[in-house]
Amino acid sequence: MSEYRLLIDGALVAGDSTMEVVNPATEEVLALAPRGSEAQLDAAVAAAKAAFPAWAARDISERRALILAFADRFEARADEFAKLLTQEQGKPLPEAQMEVAYSCVFIRQMAGYDLPVKVIEDSETRLVQQFRRPLGVVGAIIPWNFPLLIVAFKLPFALLAGNTVVLKPAPTTPLTTLRLGEILADLLPPGVVNIVTDLNDLGGRLSGHPDVAKISFTGSSATGRKVMASAAGTLKRLTLELGGNDAAIVLPGADPEKIAPGIFGGAFFNAGQTCLAIKRVYVHDSIYDEVCAQLGRLADAAVVDDGLRQGATIGPLQNRMQYEKVKGYLDSARADGRIVAGGEVEDRPGYFIRPTIVADVEDGDRIVDEEQFGPILPIIRFSDVEQALHAANSLDFGLGGSVWGDDRALARSVAERMESGTVWINKHLDFGPNVPFAGAKQSGIGSEFAEEGLHEFTQIRIVNEAR
């Protein structure tokens, strides 16, 4: 097995213990990863704190150059990272290659932003300027569904703004992040980036640590609340990108054959393990049966297999806990609705579940109201557009949503009233580093990407000078 190391104060070090990482397609141990201890986490935070003054004092152009060099080194090992990502996370190799490529795009584009001084007033009596200064040590907590891409969402802006970072990957997908540590170890000054793993037992210590100025967390709403509670003692800055139960509304007059591939892709990308995936679809009565049939055909045609096998379009669930949870949702789907396609657990090693289309369910059913985070899609019938909009807005989630239909005026009217941070029209899962991303309601606090996302890693400083 390959050797993996933590990154603490510029050194690649063994963990104080080890933990097994399982390939979800085979249920076999892929690697022994280092497991960090409380003492190692404290050492990483101390290293980041010590490195902060010199890193923050560097010109932003110097920090930018190092971030771009990181992207170059990462891209040079793209094939290695993609294969390892498929092995530890489960997604098909083409999706893993896409994640690596998009990660490099995000790193490079985010490195191109700037933090100019803003002149608020320049008059005869005073000069008022707004500066944006780094916060200090940032704790970045990464989930298991996109272990490389979500690092690329957080690390470039944190570093560009002049902060130092402690990265904590998910315990079931730490390997690709640890490989990033090998790239960073001799590129950045010691302590600027540190990587510490755990078995979900160090998150509270990181988010409550008195020397950590900000936590950037991506994960479930339940865990986000725990992070927020841990951070409250020191009033840390927080960016929380949390769970979603994204609704798609299919308007009367939409072409079922035309829209079905977009809805299917928006729901089942990464085996449905995407915070912004479509989790429930409201379809007008006039086209309900045909939309269900079209989605069912796509589900039946999907190739569920080990992501390293050519032709696989949907891989396994990432870990056993999520697999068992999704199997529970399958039971609810059978009890409350009609299975159009799928509904089966693959009889083989690995956490495989076929993509499942569930018709004839209603709001209030568990399969509709809860985020499945797996390859299950409930379809709800409606006859009145306002009724569908009300239902889409009725839950506590508000991460994303989409509206599908040929009547653009009606689609825009509905989209503008959806209570979500992002709403798409006739597409889903279209985002980029130049487009702000923020959840509404219990789907998050703060923004990522674009200028707004960079500002999340800064403290405003006003200098008010008498003339």
Give 251-308 pLDDT, tens digit per residue: 999 999 999 999 999 999 999 999 999 999 999 999 999 999 999 999 999 999 999 9
Nearest-10 crossing angle of helices 408-417, 385-392: 30
Share above pLDDT 70 across residues of the chain, in percent, rounded to a whole number = 100
More confident of the two residues 227 and 344: 227
Average pLDDT of 349-369? 98
What amino acid occupies position 439? G
pLDDT tens digits for range 167-184: 999 999 999 999 999 999
Q: Is 460 exposed, middle or buried (0-12, 13-18, 19+ CB in 10 A)?
A: exposed
* pLDDT-based confidence at residue 403 (cuts at 50, 70, 90): very high
DSSP state letter for 272: G
For range 23-30, the mean pLDDT: 98
Task: Tell me the C-alpha distance between 346 and 9, whole Å.
Answer: 45
End-to-end CA separation in angstroms for the chain: 67
Q: How far apart (Å, rounded) are the C-alpha atoms in residues 421 and 434? A: 15
* Mean pLDDT estimate for the chain: 98
Element (H, E) at 342: none
pLDDT of residue 2 exceeding 80, the answer is no
Over residues 311-345, the pLDDT tens digits come to 999 999 999 999 999 999 999 999 999 999 999 89
Amino acid identity at 109? Q
- Read off the pLDDT of residues 73-121 as tens digits, 9 standing for 90 and up: 999 999 999 999 999 999 999 999 999 999 999 999 999 999 999 999 9
Active-site residues: which are they? 241, 275
Give the count of alpha carbons within 13 A of 283, CB side only.
Answer: 27
Q: Given a cut of 80, is residue 1 above it in pLDDT?
A: no
Predicted local confidence at residue 66, as pLDDT: 98
DSSP conformation class of 309: S
Q: What is the pLDDT, as a whole number, of residue 346? A: 85
